[in-house]
Structure 1
């Protein structure tokens, strides 16, 4: 078990709350990023989802620019860009431009999932998500952002050679194999798909190739996502967590909608409640002390380098308060050597 605390970061899907709209959700995200920066979080990542009334994160790189402009130091990245939805060159141009505008602060997390339904994916002109094709496209993207080689016909890309960090995201062993083959950091989506977490981390560590031309780390580097809700009391944290549980029930039943306040959540059928609990079992909830204890107990045996926190709340002030509480307690533990 590692003796140092992993870094703490944020993954934000830019959820829209009932009674408001995407503009308010984006403003809330920028405000949450400022809170995360003040309280010592390492990164602030934005997801990619399409055709969802519940999430305002379809234009990931645009959101990255807004968050980077609203903050001063925190790293800002994609968690992630779904690469089969985009041409690698276009991703390189967008990410490279951000890296020039905000030097030393831009990450590029890449995934294979569609982030949407099949019909919308078709309208996005989505390409192949086959593991071999994904690996090839990540390699192509890496080439666009790497140092200038002077080779004939080399593509001029803004941000080439400035040092953008690439990450591979996944919720299965497929993403783990791709990350290992490429020698890239790996981030696992355990906040909603925890079933293959340990297997994927083992595959990644066993197959990691530090000699790959695309390698950016010399040894395995892993982050994983966890749902977090902290409040002044355990009871209030559990009450606020109802918003996430209700939202995920909508995902499972195909009835997605904006986040509702805890008092407006409907009681779930026992079978659906069981499915929600299974999918969201990687969750830390309670007071700041309780949440940090839970995070340490969970992350320690996994030997994580970083924890990505995911916090849903109908009221943006509740999310900011949770970020602040956990960040303060995390800093206290780090200062005290755990």
Structure 2
């Protein structure tokens, strides 16, 4: 099976491996951004998370600024900013400033989930996650970024963002989130890499609900990006070994016994069969194997979903293995050669 080689992007949560400092984890992520830039990946996005021992992606806009400063071509953005944790004015001012720094290379991906536990979410909360409140906040940010804000709006300007028209994406994992993206007339990125159970329904809903005439619309037709778990190595066997690192991470989520990113090990030594089955169902949207195997799997995902782009999240214990995987995939997919559409 073949499908057009759509653009590939990277989603980075700034993972912290066992024995690694936060400073080292951030440095490794920046090296990932530089590598993705050089190899021809389309975007490098950071996801907002809080109160998570294994991740250092809490100050998303700061990571974006750092990565954009260290790259030349690649788009850098959020995948996403969890809007309930912030005020819309603060978000658009931050991303307007990023656009002033780095020009038209900044993406603002927005989500409704808190990206953390309930208690931490209460400490962060600034904006309602209810659908109509979310729509109103997005429309407000869109208006603040226009060259000419609409009449009748709030008598407040975000001058640093005015005229930047920062490209916005809506992130979601269910039909409800997809519907909001369609109603807003914005691109939609589906979180199938950790929430695969409604992702095809979500894509269908988004396309059927898409409204190019919406007040906030930035595009004329639906545009989708699908999240995929990625592990690439020289051989299928080596990739499966590295995949056990991701399995251990999600095992910690399932059992509530989270820890830093662990080295590869035989997964049957650390997970009972019923837990492993649950983990693998959660991680079912994945491409794991040699470059040829991964290309075939990604082509199948594109053919099944009709995705315009894929965004890949790649967890390895050793950052050097992650960079090698990105290089292997870039060559096999034809990035930087004009073959990726």
Scaled by the length of structure 1, the TM-score of the pair is: 0.96
Segments of 4+ moved more than 4 angstroms:
332-338
Contact 2:36–2:326 (8 Å) recurs in 1:
yes
Q: Distance in 1 between matches of 2:124 and 2:2?
A: 43
* Residue 198 (str. 1) matches residue 195 (str. 2): no
Q: Distance in 2 between matches of 1:109 and 1:135?
A: 14
- After alignment, is 144-153 or 281-290 more displaced? 144-153
Summarize the Cα distance change of 1:260–1:173 in structure 2 as closer, same or farther, 3 Å threshold: same
- Secondary structure of 2:265's partner? helix
* Residue 308 (str. 1) matches residue 305 (str. 2): no
Task: Give the match for residue 291 of structure 1.
Answer: 294
The alpha carbon displacement at 1:189 in A equals 0.3
The alpha carbon displacement at 1:337 in A equals 8.2
The alpha carbon displacement at 1:143 in A equals 1.3
The alpha carbon displacement at 1:3 in A equals 5.5
The alpha carbon displacement at 1:267 in A equals 2.1
The alpha carbon displacement at 1:285 in A equals 0.7
Task: Give the match for residue 142 of structure 1.
Answer: 142
Unpaired segments of 5 or more residues in structure 2? none
Q: Distance in 2 between matches of 1:180 and 1:50?
A: 28
Residue-by-residue CA offset, 1:139-174 (whole Å, 9 max, x unaligned): 111111122348583413313212311000001111
Scaled by the length of structure 2, the TM-score of the pair is: 0.95
Task: Give the match for residue 104 of structure 2.
Answer: 104
RMSD across aligned positions (CA): 1.9
Q: In the TM superposition, what are the counterparts of 1:72-221 in structure 2 within 5 Å?
A: 72-149=72-149, 153-221=155-223
Contact 2:4–2:299 (8 Å) recurs in 1:
no
Summarize the Cα distance change of 1:116–1:145 in structure 2 as closer, same or farther, 3 Å threshold: same
Q: Distance in 2 between matches of 1:163 and 1:296?
A: 33
Q: Distance in 2 between matches of 1:174 and 1:31?
A: 36
Contact 2:179–2:209 (8 Å) recurs in 1:
yes
Q: Distance in 2 between matches of 1:49 and 1:337?
A: 31
Summarize the Cα distance change of 1:230–1:78 in structure 2 as closer, same or farther, 3 Å threshold: same
Task: Give the match for residue 325 of structure 2.
Answer: 322
Residue-by-residue CA offset, 1:40-98 (whole Å, 9 max, x unaligned): 10000000000010100011001101111111110000000000110000000110100
Contact 1:230–1:288 (8 Å) recurs in 2:
yes
Task: Give the match for residue 256 of structure 1.
Answer: 258
Q: Distance in 1 between matches of 2:305 and 2:108?
A: 23
* Residue 237 (str. 1) matches residue 239 (str. 2): yes
Q: Distance in 1 between matches of 2:286 and 2:158?
A: 44
Q: Distance in 1 between matches of 2:21 and 2:167?
A: 32
Task: Give the match for residue 275 of structure 1.
Answer: 278
Q: Distance in 2 between matches of 1:318 and 1:113?
A: 31
Q: Distance in 2 between matches of 1:21 and 1:334?
A: 37
Q: Distance in 1 between matches of 2:251 and 2:20?
A: 21
